[in-house]
């Protein structure tokens, strides 16, 4: 290749490279810019930086280096920093020259560690997004640098150790999808923490430590956490009263663990709990009155736990009056109960008598052969009933009459050959699933005519529109 051709090629490469690296104003109101293919912050020279408030850097190939000790960086007002780069190298000074930094996004930047020296002495950071990196530890000294932190997202790292100091502003902490084997939190250190995500770790236990100082009244022991996700860990045992300080907890995720036994003492103090997810815990044993502490419960998921029998006194809550008299009352707010994927062969007629407001009942993928008379009478508000993939050979006329308000009835893949006279039954039915049963031809023809006359929609077992 001639010298002239090499010169032209070199010139083209320089032009392409120069074109790839540029900055543009994206919001003049708060003076925010977006830059592409920067290797350092010092390369921002197309625009003034003294009053810059927001900066987004999007690199597709270029490594970004921040924090040189001799940096001439001048971004005194920068508050929002969003980095989308394939590799972020933090030198000793890190972000310490950004005294007003409040929002920091370094997710997916390949960061291996965050150090105390990376942040200003009087750090104003309120939001940090550091997910999808390679962090292995969050030290107490580091987190102490963030007294104003409200949101902390550290999911999808390799964290094996996290120690929380006093963080008086922290509201959301996401530590999901890491390698934590233990986690101990002193809630006096995080008085405003509302959402804590610890799912998909390796936890064998979750410990709550109350503040060391004496607490004068039981009301002061009620802590503010509203969502706690412990799903997909290795928890095999719950301690009695371990959640008693979580009186404001609304959502508790315990699915995908190895919990063997549940009894009422495990849920003591959860007076505000509305959603409890316990699916896929292997073979789970439920003691009688296991959920009697949960007066406010709306949704309970017990699917895929190998349950073979349900106590007729499993559902309902306890109440003790001023004279110390014990009463066992209906659970007035329970709307959805998921019992799919267990090994239930029969149900006691009293199973659902304490669930008068139930509107969704999922019983699919069990081994039910018979539905006892009166089973559904206490739940007259039932709207969705899923009994797919069982071994039912018949559904009596009395059972059908007790389902008068059901809109969605799924009885696919049982052993049903006929249904009794449907006149006067299922008056609100809108959708039905019936495939996979050995229907008698004549009986099915009459049944089909009834469905057509009522304009009831068929739902197949794999239909994405299943109303569940």
- Report the C-alpha gap between 114 and 1 in whole angstroms: 49
Cα–Cα separations (whole angstroms), residue 11 to 8, 28, 104? 5, 34, 37
Tokens of 243: 């959640």
- Report the C-alpha gap between 267 and 389 in whole angstroms: 32
pLDDT at residue number 463:
62
Tokens of 108: 């997916």
Residue 288: Cβ-neighbour burial (10 angstroms; 0-12, 13-18, 19+) = exposed
- Report the C-alpha gap between 142 and 1 in whole angstroms: 57
- Report the C-alpha gap between 175 and 185 in whole angstroms: 13
Nearest to 443 by CA among 411, 460, 463, 420: 420
Cα–Cα separations (whole angstroms), residue 426 to 69, 153, 165, 397, 450? 76, 49, 59, 11, 11
Q: What's CA 155's distance to the chain center, in Å?
A: 13
Q: What are phi and psi of 182, to 5 degrees?
A: -140, 155
pLDDT at residue number 467:
54
Nearest to 340 by CA among 360, 359, 362, 367: 362
- Report the C-alpha gap between 178 and 438 in whole angstroms: 49
Tokens of 327: 């009463």
Q: Is 9 helix (H, G, I), strand (E, B) or coil?
A: helix
From first to last of its 468 residues, the chain has per-residue pLDDT tens of 554 444 444 434 444 444 488 888 888 788 999 999 999 998 887 788 889 999 999 999 999 999 988 777 788 999 999 999 999 999 999 999 999 999 999 999 999 999 999 999 999 999 999 999 999 999 999 999 999 999 999 999 999 999 999 999 999 999 999 999 999 888 678 999 999 999 999 999 888 776 655 444 444 556 789 999 999 999 999 999 999 989 999 999 999 999 999 999 999 999 999 999 999 999 999 999 999 999 999 999 999 999 999 999 999 998 877 676 778 899 999 999 999 999 999 999 999 999 999 999 999 999 999 999 999 999 999 999 999 999 999 999 999 999 999 999 999 999 999 999 888 899 999 999 999 999 999 888 888 898 999 999 988 776 655 555
Residues contacting residue 4 through CB under 8 Å, at least 6 positions apart:
none
Tokens of 425: 């039954």
pLDDT at residue number 466:
58
- Report the C-alpha gap between 383 and 425 in whole angstroms: 14
Residues contacting residue 274 through CB under 8 Å, at least 6 positions apart:
250, 251, 296, 297, 298, 299, 333
Domains annotated for the chain, with CATH where assigned, are 18-179 (3.80.10.10)
| Four-CA torsion 67, 70, 75, 81, nearest 10 degrees | -10
Cα–Cα separations (whole angstroms), residue 295 to 102, 285, 332? 41, 21, 7
- Report the C-alpha gap between 17 and 188 in whole angstroms: 53
How crowded is residue 295: how many other Cβ atoms within 10 Å of its Cβ? Answer: 20
Q: What's CA 306's distance to the chain center, in Å?
A: 23
- Whether the CB-CB separation of 343 and 366 falls below 8 Å is answered with yes
- Whether the CB-CB separation of 94 and 70 falls below 8 Å is answered with no
Q: Is 84 helix (H, G, I), strand (E, B) or coil?
A: strand
Residues contacting residue 174 through CB under 8 Å, at least 6 positions apart:
131, 152, 153, 154, 155, 195, 197
- Report the C-alpha gap between 191 and 213 in whole angstroms: 14
């Amino acid at each position: 290749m001639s010298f002239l051709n090499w010169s032209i090629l070199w010139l083209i490469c320089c032009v392409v490279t120069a074109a790839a690296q540029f900055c543009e104003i994206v919001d003049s109101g708060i003076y925010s810019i977006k830059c592409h293919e920067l290797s350092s912050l010092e390369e921002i020279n197309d625009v003034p930086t003294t009053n810059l408030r927001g900066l987004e850097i999007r690199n597709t190939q270029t490594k970004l280096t921040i924090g040189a000790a001799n940096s001439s960086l001048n971004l005194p007002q920068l508050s929002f920093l969003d980095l989308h780069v394939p590799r972020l190298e933090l030198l000793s000074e890190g972000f310490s020259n950004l005294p007003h930094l409040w929002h920091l996004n370094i997710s997916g930047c390949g960061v291996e560690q965050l150090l105390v020296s990376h942040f200003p002495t009087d750090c104003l950071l309120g939001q940090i997004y550091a997910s999808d990196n390679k962090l292995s530890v969050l030290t107490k000294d580091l987190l102490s640098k963030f007294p104003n932190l409200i949101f902390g997202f550290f999911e999808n790292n390799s964290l094996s150790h996290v120690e929380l100091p006093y963080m008086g502003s922290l509201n959301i902490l996401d530590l999901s999808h890491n390698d934590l084997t233990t986690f101990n939190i002193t809630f006096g250190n995080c008085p405003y923490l509302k959402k804590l995500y610890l799912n998909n770790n390796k936890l064998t236990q979750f410990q709550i430590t109350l503040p060391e100082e004496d607490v004068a009244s039981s009301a002061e022991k009620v802590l503010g956490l509203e969502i706690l996700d412990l799903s997909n860990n290795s928890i095999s045992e719950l301690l009695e009263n371990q959640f008693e300080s979580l009186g404001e907890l609304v959502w508790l995720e315990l699915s995908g663990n190895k919990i063997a036994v549940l009894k009422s003492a495990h849920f003591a103090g959860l007076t505000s709990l509305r959603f409890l997810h316990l699916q896929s815990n292997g073979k789970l044993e439920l003691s009688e009155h296991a959920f009697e502490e949960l007066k406010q419960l709306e949704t309970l998921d017990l699917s895929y736990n190998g349950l073979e029998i349900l106590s007729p006194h499993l559902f309902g809550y306890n109440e003790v009056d001023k004279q110390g008299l014990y009463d066992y009352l209906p659970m007035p707010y329970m709307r959805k109960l998921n019992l799919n994927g267990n090994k239930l062969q029969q149900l006691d007629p009293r199973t659902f008598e304490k669930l008068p407001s139930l509107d969704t009942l999922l019983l699919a993928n069990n081994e039910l052969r018979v539905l006892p008379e009166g089973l559904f009478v206490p739940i007259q508000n039932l709207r969705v009933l899923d009994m797919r993939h069982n071994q039912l050979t018949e559904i009596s006329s009395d059972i059908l009459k007790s389902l008068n308000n059901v809109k969605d009835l799924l009885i696919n893949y049982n052993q049903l050959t006929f249904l009794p006279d449907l006149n006067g039954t299922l008056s609100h039915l809108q959708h039905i699933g019936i495939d996979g049963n050995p229907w008698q031809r004549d009986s099915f023809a009459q049944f089909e005519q009834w469905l057509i006359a009522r304009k009831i929609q068929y739902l197949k077992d794999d239909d994405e529109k299943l109303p569940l």
